[in-house]
Each structure stands twice: as structure tokens, then as C-alpha cells.
Amino acid sequence: MNVKPHSLFSDFDISLFKAGKHYRLYEKLGAHLTEVDGVKGTYFAVWAPAARSVSVVGDFNYWVQGEHPLNVRWDGSGIWEGFIPGVEKGAIYKYKIQSNHSGIVTEKADPFALYCEHPPQTASVVWDLDYKWKDKKWMDTRKEHNALEKPYSVYEVHLGSWRRNAYGEFLTYLELADQLVQYVKQTGFTHVEFMPVMEYPYDPSWGYQLVGYFAPTSRFGKPQDFMVLVDKLHQAGIGVILDWVPSHFPSDAHGLGFFDGSNLYEHPDMRKGYHPDWKSLVFNYGRNEVRAFLISNAIFWLQHYHIDGLRVDAVASMLYLDYSRNDGEWEPNIYGGRENLETISFLKDFNEAVYTMFEGVQTIAEESTSFPMVSRPTFLGGLGFGMKWMMGWMHDTLQYFKREPVYRKYHQNDLTFSMTYAFTENFMLPLSHDEVVYGKHSILGRMPGDEWQRFANLRLLYGYMFTHPGGKLLFMGAEFAQSAEWKFDGSLDWHLLQYDYHSGIQKLITDLNGLYKTNPALYENQFTADGFEWIDYADHQNAVMSYIRKGVNEKENLVVVCNFTPVVREGYRIGLPKKGKLVQVFNTDETAYDGSGVTNAKAVKIDKESCNGREFSAAVTLPPLGVVVFKLA
């Protein structure tokens, strides 16, 4: 038997756990290398309140049930624990659980495992988190990089398909620490966002169906290798955001589902506990121990992997009881409404915990509805997120850009509408992986016209995006105009960069990142109405829009003019707030981007001539399908 009674839990730990307020459960539950009475081994602890017995089975006992049984705590917590001498780092294990329910036996991976076997193998691995970080400079100044009034240009990455090696195999975390870090720095993004890196069994899920919530996937290396990747990004001045999935989990036999023979992690009412879209299980947000598990998981990545932000996936599916459900398939809340009150409470607790425990981090909601105050503080009644994806902007903008320019004059409200609600939340503008799969085409593939017009339209889209209020997010490949839809099981089409049109888009994105980062008018007030002022949104006939982006210092203000047709417009007059000159600082039609080179080479004088309801104005040249940015001098 050789299992010694041992515990990492105090009475206070147990009371916090039962109350759903223990946010560092990873320090107690799971497998922990330790020493007891001078003997080295591993302490195991697992939550299984419906169990009759729990054994640790693994390569150290030939997977024999009952060889190393754990002891249940006396305090009603449902935690089973024990110390097994001689079990070392690298040992492979699972929990064999015999349930009180009809003698059901389950064999489960450790929900708190720090490392997992390489899929399709499913066992957990005893591991540690020993690592010497070298990112002190970043961590000491992170709040200055990550503040809402700083640039947020995010490069979204799926690690398995960003780039493959010559044999078509995954790059390792260590290879990515060289190649990806160098690339992100070169192209000027301020942050990377990794699609889920937590262990997942099924590659076509893209990582969104998790089984190892505390373990970076072993597909690309060991936990410490992933730490190296984060460390190198920080040393390069790049923040790291992780996709986090507290919305659902798969029903794989070794996962969280039916863990101890009962609905432990999932809601027992399948109207709340089953997701019809993804055929997965939904967490029971009303159960205190489950809330503590999830919030502990978020805190874990911020603490042990120095993560700078969490983008929370599928928030809309969590907020509404009737999400993807027909009449009769859901039950209203106690007030007769469709909102999931338990989820709302959980999300508020999650955000309060994150922002209380860590300085200089952000949480970002992928939330596609009009649910109010998602990115407002909880003390004001909000959910407490730092930012929210602006899904309406994405949908309306891509719909507009699909139209032939000759018809755009009839649909300019598709673009101007975003400014009617742009400051109701702290919005991030996403062109994400979801927009380049399942027959939607690549971003380039949506652009109309001949080859020149398609690329000009794409440059126009990016110029408009980077000068629109809000943070920015581009999915990998969009920065060089990937022409095919994204495929999770291959590499991006890096060979396209040999062609001028594609390399021109990459240079454009690099320079747009530079424009964004070096002009405070584009980021200081990016989430407030103080940062934006229309010049003219009503020139539908010419399909032209013009606006001012404003920072704290008005001398830094920028004037932006967008021409959504392929017609060159010379002498196009725009109203301005004062006399002086307009100096062009950016033009998406430059020949360096493989544009046509229509430009404002010299400073443009501002005249005392009324236009757009203003006393002063200037006549500028607008390139075809282009965005021009000026400074007031």
C-alpha cells in the first residue's frame, strides 16, 4: 500500500474551498513533489465527493487499482489525499475512482496536472514548475505597456499551424521562442494572443475543448519550454494573452465529465450543463468548488506563466440560458429572464480576483451580444472585463468591404454605425480566426475587384481599422494577405511573401503598427469619445469618410480621410478646426506597399474657407481605395 497520511490543506483552506473563494487551489490539489519524514515522493489530492474509493494508478504500480489508495478527508470537502514515497518527477498517473453511484468506476486524468502525456495518450505526468525567469524588466513595467491608454495591437496565433518545419511537423516551444518572437518584433505587434495552449485531446477543436486546464499542451514541449517562449516575448517587449475557455469542456472519458460518477464539474440539468453547438459539457457556475477551480486556473496562468491577459472565449454562450436553445429547451431564471445569474456572478468574481491579485493585466471578453457593461467595473454594475471584442464592427465592416465600390455609397451607414456605440465598451477590433474558416474565405478573399483592387481594398481595410478607435487584433496570415482559408493542420502560406502584393501588405501592417505605437492620438483616448471627432460621415455619393483622432495633447491630433472607391479625388476639401498646414504622415497607396503612389507629397495649406460646418478647410488628394493620415502643423 505504502501511502502515508499527509495533507497540504489547513482548515482555512477547506473553508475557502467550500465557499468558492480559494483561488490558489493548484497549490493544494493535484500532484506535488515533496518530502515527508525525510522520504521523497509525491503528494496527491483530488476532489471526488461522490467516490467510494480513489486510487492513484500509474507506471510506478503497473496501473493496478488499490495498490495506492488515497484517504478521504473527514471534513466533508470530498477531497481524497495521500503521500506516495518514491514517485518522482516524470511519473505517469491517473485516478481510478469507484463511485458511490451504482459502483461506476472512472479512470481520470488529474484536473490539476501540470503536464500531460502527448495526445492521443491521456495520462497525467508528475512535474514541477521550477524555472528562472529573465523578464524582470517587463514585469516591473508591465502596467505601462498593458494600460488601456496604451497601444494594443494583437497578433493572434495558433501554435500548431503558424509555421511547420521542413518535415511538416510542429515547431516546438523553443523553436517558436526564436522564430515567432523575432517575427512579432519585426512586424511591430505589441502583444500576441495564443489560441488555447492548455492540453486538449482533439486537434480539430483548435484547442477550445480542454482536458488539462493547468498544463500547456505537450505537443510542442515541456511546461518550462512554454515558459521560455513567454519569457523571450517579454524580453522583446511583447505582451502575452492566452485564450481561456471557462465556457465548456469535452466529455472525453479521461476528462472532467462525470468525474467521480456524478455531475461534478458540469451542471446536472442538461438544459444548463450541455452545449448543443459544440456537443460539450457546461460548467456548473453555481457550485462553489467549481467556481474556485476555474478562478484558480485563471490565477495560475497569470502567476506561474507571467501571462499578461486572458481573452475569455464564448462569453455570450455563458451569459444566456437560451443560447442556441429552442423554446422548451431552457428554463428562465428566478426573475423570469434569460440571463444566467450564476454565470454573471462568476464572471464578476473572476474579474475582481484577477484585477485585485495582479497589477498590469487585462481580461478581454469575446462577447457578441448587446449585454450591457461587459467592460465596466463591477462596482458600477458591470462584469468587470478590461475590454470586449467589437463583433458588430467586424461583421458590418467585412460586409461593407465585400461590396463592389460602385454600390458602397448606398451602404456607408455600415461603417458609420459603429461610432454610435463605439464608446459604450472598451472595444477591441477583431479580425480573428473565426473569420477565415468554414467557407467564409480569407480576409483577402472577401475583397472585390481585379487583383490590384483586391489588395488596395485590403490596405484600405487595414488603414481604416488602425485609425478607428479601439484595440486591434489580426489573426496570423492576415498580415501578409494569406489567400486561402486557414487550415489548422498545416502551415501558413509563407511562400506568398515572394510576391510584391503580399510583401507589400506585410510592410503596410508593420508600418501601421509603427503609426499606432508612435502617435498618442491613436491610443491615449481610444476607448473614450474624447478621442474621436467626425469631419464628415455623410459624403455617401463619393463614399468618403473623414475624422479626427485626438490624444491628450491636441498638437498630436491626426486627420484621417478614407476613400472607399477606386477613383482618385484631387482637390477634395475637408473642414478643419484651425489654420496651418496638413502634413501627410501615412498613405496606404504608397508604392512601398505596391500601391499606385498617389500621394500628398507636399504640405497642404489650410485655407480660411468654410467646409463641413467649419471655418477652415484644405483641399487634399485622395488616392484610390486608400486611407491618408495627416498631422495638423
The pLDDT tens digits of the residues spanning 116-158 come to: 999 999 999 999 999 999 999 999 999 999 999 999 999 999 9
Q: Is the pLDDT of residue 502 over 90?
A: yes
Helices 288-304 and 341-357 meet at what angle, rounded to 10?
A: 30
- Confidence check: pLDDT of 2 > 80: no
Provide the residue ranges of all domains of the chain, joining segments of one domain with +: 11-108, 529-632
Give me the numbers of helices (H) and strands (E) for the chain, helices first please: 12, 29
Cα 116 to chain centroid distance, Å, stands at 23
Upper half-sphere CA count for residue 384 (Cβ side, 13 Å): 18
pLDDT at 6: 85
Contacts of 124 (CB under 8 A, 6+ apart): 31, 92, 93, 94, 109, 110, 113, 115, 116, 117, 212, 215
Q: Give the CATH architecture of domain 11-108.
A: Sandwich (2.60)
Hey, which residues are catalytic here? 313, 366
pLDDT band at 569 (very low <50, low <70, confident <90, very high): very high
Under the banding of pLDDT at 50, 70 and 90, the label for residue 587 is very high
Find the mean pLDDT for residues 38-43: 96
Dump pLDDT digits (tens) for 371-403. 999 999 999 999 999 999 999 999 999 999 999
Please check the confidence at residue 3 and state whether its pLDDT lies above 80.
no
- Of residues 103 and 538, more confidently modeled: 538
pTM of this prediction exceeds 0.95: yes
What does the pLDDT read at residue 29?
Answer: 98
Per DSSP (E only), the strands in 516-625 are 532-539, 544-549, 558-563, 569-576, 580-587, 604-606, 616-622
Q: Which of 109, 160, 152, 126 is nearest to 33 (CA)?
A: 126
- Which amino acid, 533? E
Longest dimension (CA), the chain: 92
Q: How confident is the model at residue 1 (pLDDT cuts 50, 70, 90)?
A: low
Of 3-7, 434-438, 519-523, 618-622, give the lowest mean pLDDT range. 3-7
* pLDDT higher than 70, residue 173: yes
CA Rg, the chain, in Å? 27
- What is the pLDDT at residue 5? 80
What's the average model confidence in pLDDT over 281-293?
98
Residue 615's pLDDT is 95
Tens-digit pLDDT profile for residues 425-463? 999 999 999 999 999 999 999 999 999 999 999 999 999
Count CA atoms closer than 13 A to 431's CA, side-chain side: 28
How much is the pLDDT for 101?
79
CATH number of the domain at 529-632, please? 2.60.40.1180
430 in Cβ contact with 392 (< 8 Å):
no
Read off the C-alpha cell for 235.
Answer: 524580453
Residue 161 has pLDDT above 90, yes or no: yes
529-632 has the same fold as 11-108: yes
Q: If you average pLDDT over residues 25-34, what whole number do you get?
A: 98
Per-residue pLDDT, 351: 98
How many CA atoms are closer than 13 Å to the CA of 525, on its beta-carbon side? Answer: 17
How distant, in Å, are the alpha carbons of 129, 172, 507, 603 from that of 228? 12, 11, 28, 48
- pLDDT > 90: percent of the chain: 98
* Cβ burial, residue 571 (10 Å; 0-12/13-18/19+): exposed
Closest CA to 591 of 483, 528, 500, 512: 500
* HSE, side-chain direction, 13 A CA sphere, residue 348: 15
Taking residue 439's Cβ as centre, other Cβ atoms within 10 Å add up to 5
The pLDDT of 547-576, averaged and rounded, is 97
Q: Which residue intervals of 361-468 are DSSP H helices?
A: 391-401, 413-416, 451-467
Does the pLDDT at position 561 exceed 70? yes
